[in-house]
């Protein structure tokens, strides 16, 4: 009975984490109008469905690659360097985008009429991140 409750808790926790991360990705894409801007820069408005498909396909591929522990063996240093370059570009762009995402909280609080609870919302996010990190480092990593 305890094992069933433990597995159910882990399943709910995993679902909640996935929903949080997925919501963050969708919010990032919507707030920055990433796909329309990409289509505008590429002058390919008619092909925006391809950009959307690429983002969804990439997300699904890397989710399966992570869950199924797929490995990508790159034999040459030049291929690894290119992969590292793309990873660095992605992380840098994501970090730059996340600095602007901080404007999402006041907008969300205003639209949901929670402006007077903005400090509580921020504290809940900070405490959740801190407790989640501590739990991961102290329980799962040991």
- Find, among 113, 86, 110, 108, the residue nearest to 31 by Cα: 108
Token couple for 73: 């063996």
Confidence class for position 8, pLDDT limits 50, 70, 90 = very high
Q: Distance (Å, rounded) from C-alpha 65 to C-alpha 70? A: 5
Q: State the pLDDT at residue 12.
A: 92
- Residue 52 CB burial class (10 angstroms; 0-12, 13-18, ≥19): middle
Residue 66 CA neighbour count, 13 Å, CB half: 6
**C-beta of residue 51 within 8 angstroms of C-beta of residue 38:** yes
Tokens for 136, please give them: 């991961």
Residue 135 has pLDDT above 80, yes or no: yes
- Say what the pLDDT of residue 99 is: 55
Q: Characterise 70 by phi-psi region: left (phi > 0), alpha (psi -120 to 50), beta (else).
A: beta
pLDDT in tens, 56-77: 888 888 888 888 988 877 677 7
Mean pLDDT over each residue of the chain, to the nearest integer: 78
Higher per-residue pLDDT: 46 or 108 = 46
């Amino acid at each position: 009975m305890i094992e069933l409750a433990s597995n159910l808790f882990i399943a709910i926790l995993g679902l909640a984490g996935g929903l949080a991360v997925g919501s963050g990705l969708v919010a990032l894409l919507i707030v920055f109008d990433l796909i329309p801007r990409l289509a505008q820069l590429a002058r390919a408005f008619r092909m925006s469905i391809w950009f959307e498909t690429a983002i969804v396909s990439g997300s699904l591929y890397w989710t399966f690659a992570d869950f199924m522990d797929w490995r990508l063996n790159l034999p040459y240093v030049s291929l690894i360097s290119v992969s590292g370059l793309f990873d660095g570009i992605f992380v840098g762009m994501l970090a730059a985008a996340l600095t602007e995402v901080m404007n999402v909280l006041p907008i969300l609080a205003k639209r949901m009429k929670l402006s007077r609870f903005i400090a509580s919302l921020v504290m809940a996010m900070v405490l959740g991140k801190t407790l989640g990190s501590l739990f991961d480092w102290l329980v799962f990593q040991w």
